[in-house]
């Protein structure tokens, strides 16, 4: 399978491990990624003018005829919402008037959905089944909203993938609750309070790892975790992995390929545990 790949701005900074693990997992699954030519920022959640946001997305989508895959839920949501608005001829006309390459339709996919599709039930490429690993499926907002392929509030695709990797999804009440990320720059306190609520809830649910599909969720739950623990006097200590990292571990890919050393809360002890378990089972059989 060949897909156009839209890495998004954070893939070159705070989300480097998202980018690395996306490329590694797709290579392992035989999915060829062609990076979108000269891609631009999607506007994230900070472009208030809807037509401008649509134009920014349209320029990206017009660069290829292939289906476009991204690992970032914000980019995913923006591109999908724009594609929907561009179905109106008036919007399409206004946008195409300023574009060099004209937009004429596009299909947007999230890496999560691409990976799930590529993995068969009991896929033999799963070298390290994540048996017994308790995973909190954290969707955040934008994978499912405003118009996703999944239920806006009760999605289950992440649980499906977690099970396919042989891990166990925990019942996670706040799985589609916002992480507060989009306002953390000007409204730090409000954002941090929300993020802590999610971490605390994941801990109560018994999660050994939280899995995310968005770099901003990841930043809030991983990079801020230590500060939030100190502030609230409550230890959390739960590694936060991108869904591509979790899939990569199960596929037996190495920590460097998956950028596991870039996670702020180290997942290495957890990775060693699941690997040791697998080796033990292999020796037994």
Partner 1 sequence: MARDEKFKQEVLRLAGTEVRTCIQCGTCSASCPTASLMDPSIRRLIKLCLEGKREEALHNETLWLCTSCLLCTVRCPRGIRPKAVVSALKDIAERAGLQSKDASYEQFFLKQIKDFGRIAELSLTAEFLLVFPQGAVQSMQMGLELLPRGKIDLKIEKINGRDEVKRIVEELGKK
Check residue 96 for interaction with partner 1 (CB under 8 A): no
- Closest to partner 1 by CB, 111 or 217: 217
Per CB under 8 A, the segment of 124-132, 179-187, 202-210, 273-281 that binds partner 1 is 179-187
Exactly one of 185, 269, 280, 284 binds partner 1 (CB under 8 A); that residue is: 185
- Per-residue binder mask for partner 1 (CB under 8 A), 210-249, x = binder: ---------x---xx-xx----------------------
The β-bridge partners of 209 are 135
Site for partner 1 in 113-172 (CB under 8 A): 141-142, 145-146, 152-153
Subset of residues 13 to 52 that bind partner 1, contact rule: CB under 8 A: 13-16, 38-41, 43-52
CB 192 within 8 A of CB 200: no
Query: Which residue's CB is nearer to partner 1, number 24 or number 114?
Result: 24
CB 264 within 8 A of CB 228: no
For 80, other C-beta atoms within 10 Å of its C-beta total 23
Least distance from C-beta 1 to partner 1, angstroms? Answer: 27
**Strand ranges (E), 148-251:** 168-169, 209-212, 240-242
Q: Are 9 and 219 in contact (CB under 8 A)?
A: no
Name the nearest CA neighbour of 138 among 181, 169, 95, 92.
169
Instruction: Say how far apart CA 274 and CA 242 lie, in whole Å.
Output: 17
**Residues 35, 183, 203, 205: which binds partner 1 (CB under 8 A)?**
183
Work out the burial of residue 282: count CB atoms within 10 Å of its CB; fewer than 13 is exposed, 13-18 middle, 19 or more buried: exposed
Q: Can you give the binding site for partner 1, defined by CB under 8 A? A: 9-10, 12-16, 38-41, 43-52, 54-56, 59, 94-95, 97-100, 141-142, 145-146, 152-153, 177-178, 180-188, 190-192, 194, 219, 223-224, 226-227, 261-264
């Amino acid at each position: 399978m060949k897909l156009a790949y839209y890495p998004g701005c954070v893939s070159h900074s705070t989300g480097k491990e998202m980018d690395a693990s996306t490329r590694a997992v797709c290579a392992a699954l035989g999915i060829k990624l062609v990076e979108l030519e000269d891609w631009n920022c999607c506007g994230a959640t900070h472009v208030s003018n809807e037509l401008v946001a649509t134009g920014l997305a349209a320029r990206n989508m017009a660069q290829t005829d292939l289906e476009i895959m991204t690992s970032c839920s914000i980019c995913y949501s923006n591109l999908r919402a724009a594609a929907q608005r561009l179905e109106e001829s008036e919007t399409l006309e206004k946008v195409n008037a300023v574009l060099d390459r004209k937009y004429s339709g596009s299909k947007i996919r999230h890496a999560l959905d691409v990976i799930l599709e590529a993995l068969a039930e009991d896929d033999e490429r799963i070298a390290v089944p994540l048996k017994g690993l308790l995973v909190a499926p954290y969707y955040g907002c934008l994978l499912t909203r405003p118009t996703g392929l999944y239920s806006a509030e009760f999605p289950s695709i992440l649980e499906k993938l977690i099970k396919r990797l042989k891990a166990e999804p925990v019942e996670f009440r706040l799985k589609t609750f916002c992480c507060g990320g989009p306002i953390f720059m000007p409204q730090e306190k409000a954002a941090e309070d929300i993020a802590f609520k999610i971490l605390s809830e994941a801990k109560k649910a018994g999660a050994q790892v939280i899995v995310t599909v968005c770099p901003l969720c990841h930043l809030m739950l991983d990079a801020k975790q230590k500060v939030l623990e100190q502030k609230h006097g409550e230890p959390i200590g739960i590694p936060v992995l991108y869904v591509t990292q979790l899939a990569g571990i199960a596929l037996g890919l190495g920590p460097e390929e998956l950028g596991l050393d870039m996670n702020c809360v180290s997942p290495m002890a957890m990775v060693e545990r699941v690997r040791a378990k697998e080796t033990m089972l292999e020796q037994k059989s």
